[in-house]
Structure 1
Amino acid sequence: MTTAYRALNDGTLPGVLSALPDVRARLGGAPESWTVQEVGDGNLNLVFIIKGPAGAVVAKQALPYVRLVGDSWPLPLDRSYYEHMALSEQARHAPGLVPKIHHFDRGLALIVMEYLSPHIIMRKGLIRGTEYPLFAGHIAEFMAQTLFNTSALALPAAEHKQRIGAFAGNTELCKITEDLVFTDPYRIAKLNRWTTPYLDDIAAEFRRDEPLKIKVQERKLQFLTSAEAMIHGDLHTGSIMLTPQDTRIIDPEFAFVGPMGFDIGAVIGNLLIAYYAQTGHEERIGSRNAYRHWILLQTEKVWRVFTKRFLELWDASRTGDAYMPELFTGPEGAAAFAAEKQRFMRKLLTDSISFAGIKMIRRILGLAHTEDLESIKDPPLRAKCERQALTLARRLILDAERFSGMNEVTHAARAVLGSR
């Protein structure tokens, strides 16, 4: 029997959860003793923290519209189904790096999951200047495991195609990305916003920049057609909760089978945004130089560890229908395969760098911005940080193929900051 949908609130949610024996046991006590707090600060959903005498859980419910905009922008509730499916798949391949699911109700578009404490959203930690020594290794492991193990490098063709089909219906969430990431920042769009009037000139420049728009549309075509692996689809520093010892990836409702570099680029691009935003958060000029350096070291480490782990998985699990082992035997075959793996990773680096630049631009000239920059109260100072990020982003897109390593990306990032 399917539960009829209704938007829940702090008064009605306890009644729903009390009917779930496992969840009720986790919370303890009677529903009347539970506290419910709605904490959703994202763009799409309701998020509740429910605490009882014995413990706590998080309940996330999809709304039938974009929360950031209102009911003038309807959205299908089935996005919670794709999120649940993605979380389940990610938990299989990267256990301990996503929250545990306690219950899923497709009719209510409701996921009840592990309450993460004392974790905070990574973006908030970056604003505070907090270092997370295990983050780079954890996110690299998550991406290596989920991207490799859901690709045709690891899977038989039939299983890979089944996964493509399973996520094929998540079209409305993909459409949000297609419009807000790849299209709207390069045209006059109703929902665009930026720090005006300070960025009016560069916003207009980007709308007139034909070479830039061509490169971005090449990546949009890749996003539309390249079914490489199951991707998170929105893997930024607002979709990561962590402590110095633990990292969890949340909110994969944009998941589908797409280009691997989109996830990697999202992580890299958001780290680079945080790098430039430090100017707006330091107590005095230069007081966050060491932290800026730390951010760029993490940017390099994410790619370095990801590359190492991805290639290790590939060497250990040549079980997919792509690059079948019997085709590459003997010394010559081994050498050819080794060279192909390096070519594959170089292309993935190029893809990731380009997607990173595109993600940076959308967070400054499009609809949904980042707290890193938005929390800078002084508009001219905020615009200065944003202009630096936009300058680097444009180069990452236009010159993606010229970068031979992530260290060259971080060098370019420093060069832009140095020219301030």
Structure 2
Amino acid sequence: MPLPTPEGYRVMDEAGLRDLLAGVPEVAGQLGGDSAGWTIREVGDGNLNLVFIIEGPDGGICVKQALPYVRLVGEGWPLDLNRAFFEYRASVIQAEHCQGLVPQILHYDPKLFLIVMELLSPHIIMRRGMTEAVDYPNFVAQITDYLARSHYFTSDLALPAAKKKAMIAEFCPNTDLCKITEDLIFTHPYMVHDLNRWTSPQLDRWAEAWRNDDQLKLAISQLKQDFLSRAEALLHGDMHTGSIMVTRAETRVIDPEFAFVGPIGFDVGKLIGNLLLNYFCHDGHENRPGERDGYRAWVIETIQGVWHGFATKFVELWDGHRTGDAYPSDLLPDGSPALRQAQAAYMARLWNDTLRFAGASLTRRTLGLAHNADLERIEDPDRRAACEKRVLELSRDLLVNPGSYATIEQVTARAEALRARDGA
């Protein structure tokens, strides 16, 4: 039987979209011409939603509609339609602080749970480009602007307590998508679960080891508690290279439907974890050993640049925009040793969080439900499993021994050492 949906909701098709958008003047004007001449195609290849590209004589738009279930699984996994609202609201808030780094929202339909936004072209999903060894020279500068500004300006460092609490209340109901994260990242890969999958039989022993490793299960459980309880800033919530569209000149962050107020290190760590995963994948894609050494070096530089750029810019914003209720200047004057001490302690904790969330991201993409194309597109299962074993080894170390890594350079050196040890 069809899943129950609110009155007025219907899954959109080409005819329905044409009629709907023709009645929204700002959207119809962007497309131009008669609506009968618009081209409409459904292009969604993600796990959750419908995505349409509509093009007219004057331009194009992108339309995203929430389905009442997880598209990857089907109607057997119902999902709250209100995730479209949270994506819409997060996009609006982030645009205030990160203009030019997120898509422009043109229209939101609350009955259809449908967002109309600018069409990003010729941008592609960054993961696709990185799997094909395409470098992006402006990425680090732009993504660190996004990470620093979107998190700083929605934190207690910039917001008065009343505004921060109101933001927490607005996003707190996004429980269905948070539950997906809580299960797929912090729980399922460490137990027997029907949704888990991995390269079998090559990783069977590794999956069993993860289920029997009490030290690892304690570390991931403590990290899950931090995810559940630390309301530091408005997060994207699904920050990885599949949620970023790029050209070699521009970076745009998309799809913040998992948005909630949580620990900043989750977004930063998730991105760094996905970049590390890409670093390991190229041994499975190159036609001859060493063919992609130059690209691997660029990925390493990018990982280092993401942390350093984010951390530097975050502290600079803290110095220049002390508008929140945390660490008041009446107690810690600008430039004082006490303020510098507070900033150092804050960033040290954020660094520790980043490492642990990066580790969790690596395990999730190897032993859990939703894997990354970086590794999935390696056709030879033995070559894929060889890459995945390095991913898992680093993942466990970041989760259990984050204190062993004082700098991002030590993290990337460990990744390089794992390849060198295996003769990659």
Give the TM-score category using the shorter length: over 0.9
Equivalent residue letter for 1:150: T
Quick check: 221-230 or 2-11, which moved more? 2-11
Equivalent residue letter for 1:281: H
- Equivalent residue of 2:14, what SS? coil
1:21 to 19, 22, 25: 25
Q: Distance in 1 between matches of 2:276 and 2:307?
A: 13
CA displacement 1:369-398 (0-9 Å, x = unmatched):
000111111111111111111111111111
- Equivalent residue of 2:151, what SS? helix
Q: Are the counterparts in 2 of residues 354 and 397 from structure 1 also a CA contact under 8 Å?
A: yes
Q: Are the counterparts in 2 of residues 239 and 251 from structure 1 also a CA contact under 8 Å?
A: yes
1:187 aligns to what? 191
2:312 to 303, 308, 312: 308
- CA distance change for structure 1 residues 190 and 330 in 2, over 3 Å: closer, same or farther? closer
Deviation for aligned residue 1:330: 8.8
1:100 to 99, 104, 109: 104
Deviation for aligned residue 1:3: 7.6
2:376 aligns to what? 374
Deviation for aligned residue 1:328: 2.0
Q: Distance in 2 between matches of 1:326 and 1:134?
A: 39
Match runs of 1:20-419 below 5 Å: 20-329=24-333, 334-419=336-421
Q: Distance in 1 between matches of 2:408 and 2:77?
A: 38
- Equivalent residue of 2:322, what SS? coil
Q: Distance in 2 between matches of 1:277 and 1:39?
A: 26
Deviation for aligned residue 1:279: 0.8
Q: Are the counterparts in 1 of residues 156 and 164 from structure 2 also a CA contact under 8 Å?
A: yes
Q: What are the ranges of 5 or more consecutive residues in structure 2 without an aligned counterpart?
A: 1-5
- Equivalent residue of 1:11, what SS? helix
TM-score (ref. length: structure 2): 0.97
Q: Distance in 2 between matches of 1:66 and 1:134?
A: 34
Q: Distance in 1 between matches of 2:178 and 2:332?
A: 37
CA displacement 1:165-195 (0-9 Å, x = unmatched):
0101000100000000000000011111111
Q: Are the counterparts in 2 of residues 232 and 253 from structure 1 also a CA contact under 8 Å?
A: yes
Deviation for aligned residue 1:109: 0.6
Deviation for aligned residue 1:39: 0.7
Q: Distance in 2 between matches of 1:208 and 1:330?
A: 50
Deviation for aligned residue 1:280: 1.2
TM-score (ref. length: structure 1): 0.98
- Equivalent residue of 2:241, what SS? coil
Q: Distance in 2 between matches of 1:377 and 1:107?
A: 43
Q: What are the ranges of 5 or more consecutive residues in structure 1 without an aligned counterpart?
A: none
Q: Distance in 2 between matches of 1:42 and 1:248?
A: 17
Equivalent residue letter for 1:178: E
Deviation for aligned residue 1:9: 1.5
Deviation for aligned residue 1:114: 0.5
- CA distance change for structure 1 residues 238 and 329 in 2, over 3 Å: closer, same or farther? closer
Identity of aligned residues (%): 50
- Equivalent residue of 1:216, what SS? helix
Q: Distance in 2 between matches of 1:309 and 1:328?
A: 20
Quick check: 68-77 or 398-407, which moved more? 398-407
Q: Are the counterparts in 1 of residues 333 and 339 from structure 2 also a CA contact under 8 Å?
A: no
Q: Are the counterparts in 2 of residues 3 and 105 from structure 1 also a CA contact under 8 Å?
A: no
Equivalent residue letter for 2:250: D
CA displacement 1:66-116 (0-9 Å, x = unmatched):
000000000011000000000001100110000001100011010000000
Q: Distance in 2 between matches of 1:383 and 1:107?
A: 45
Q: Are the counterparts in 2 of residues 152 and 321 from structure 1 also a CA contact under 8 Å?
A: yes
- Equivalent residue of 2:304, what SS? helix
| TM-align CA RMSD | 1.1
- Equivalent residue of 2:54, what SS? strand
Q: Are the counterparts in 1 of residues 190 and 211 from structure 2 also a CA contact under 8 Å?
A: yes
- Equivalent residue of 1:49, what SS? strand
Deviation for aligned residue 1:318: 1.0
Q: Distance in 2 between matches of 1:393 and 1:113?
A: 36
Q: Distance in 2 between matches of 1:302 and 1:374?
A: 25
Quick check: 230-239 or 28-37, which moved more? 28-37
- Equivalent residue of 2:242, what SS? coil
Deviation for aligned residue 1:410: 0.3
